[in-house]
């Protein structure tokens, strides 16, 4: 069983890392998800692999499963779920606003607003930028 779990973690992590290195947003997100699956399994295995035992220590219980990694995995799942949702929204908005799902930032995207108050000219408006020159 050890080799099965270990190779499962290895395959998930390897596939995740491969996808992370792609330059479009969707594969990167899938890669992040696979990586978090890999790490969840890994955390689980760090409490040692035990079969069919309760995660409770009580009178007359000789063998038990370590409950702490299960709690850790639960927290990690919740956090990675929230993060994945956020990144998906970010990627979607990025695609809709710029027309490309490339993770790279183009020179033409690099315009931002400055100043504590909005000072009249809107820097995101290309017409205003051209006129100003």
Partner 1 sequence: MVNHWIIAPVVLPAMTAVALLFVPRGWMQARRAVSVASVVALSAICVVLWGMAQNGPQAYAVGDWPAPFGIVVVLDRLSALMLLAAAAIGLAAVLYAIIGWDRRGAHFHTLFHFQLLGINGAFLTGDVFNLFVFFEVLLIASYGLVLHGGGAWRLKSGFQYAAVNLIASTIFLFAVGLLYGVTGTLNMADLAVRVAALPAADHALLRVAALLLFIVFAVKCALVPFHWWLPSAYSAGSAPAVALFAVLTKVGAYAIIRMHTLVFADDAAGISGTLQELLVPAAAVTLALGAVGVFGSRSMLQLASYSTVASMGTLLLAAAGLGAAQISAALYYLLHSCLIGAALFLLVDLVAAGRGPVADRLLPEVPVPQALMLGGLFFLCGMAMVGMPPLSGFVGKVAILDGLRGSENAVLAWTVILAASLLLLVGFARAGSTVFWKAGTMALRSAGGRPEAMRPAPRRAGLVVALLLAGTAVLSAFGGPVLEATDATAAELLDRQLYIRAVAPAAFPPES
Check binding of 112 to partner 1 (CB under 8 A).
yes
Check binding of 14 to partner 1 (CB under 8 A).
no
Give CA–CA dist 54/118, Å, rounded.
61
Neighbours of 36 (CB within 10 A): 19
Check binding of 133 to partner 1 (CB under 8 A).
yes
Q: Looking at residues 28 to 67 of the shown chain, list those that interact with partner 1 (rule: CB under 8 A).
A: 28, 32, 35-36, 38-39, 42-43, 45-47
Please say which residue, 52 or 133, places its beta carbon nearer to partner 1. 133
Check binding of 11 to partner 1 (CB under 8 A).
no
């Amino acid at each position: 069983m050890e080799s099965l779990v270990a190779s499962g973690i290895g395959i998930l992590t390897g596939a995740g890392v491969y996808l992370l290195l792609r330059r479009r947003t969707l594969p990167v997100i899938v890669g992040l998800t696979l990586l978090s699956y890999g790490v969840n399994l890994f955390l689980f295995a760090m409490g040692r692999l035990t079969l069919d035992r309760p995660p409770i220590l009580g009178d007359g219980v000789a063998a038990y499963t370590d409950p702490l990694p299960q709690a850790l995995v639960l927290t990690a799942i919740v956090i990675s779920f929230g993060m994945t949702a956020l990144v998906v929204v970010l990627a979607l908005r990025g695609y809709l606003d710029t027309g490309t799902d490339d993770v790279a930032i183009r020179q033409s995207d690099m315009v931002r607003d400055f100043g504590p108050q909005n000072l009249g000219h809107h820097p995101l408006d290309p017409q205003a930028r051209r006129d100003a020159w």
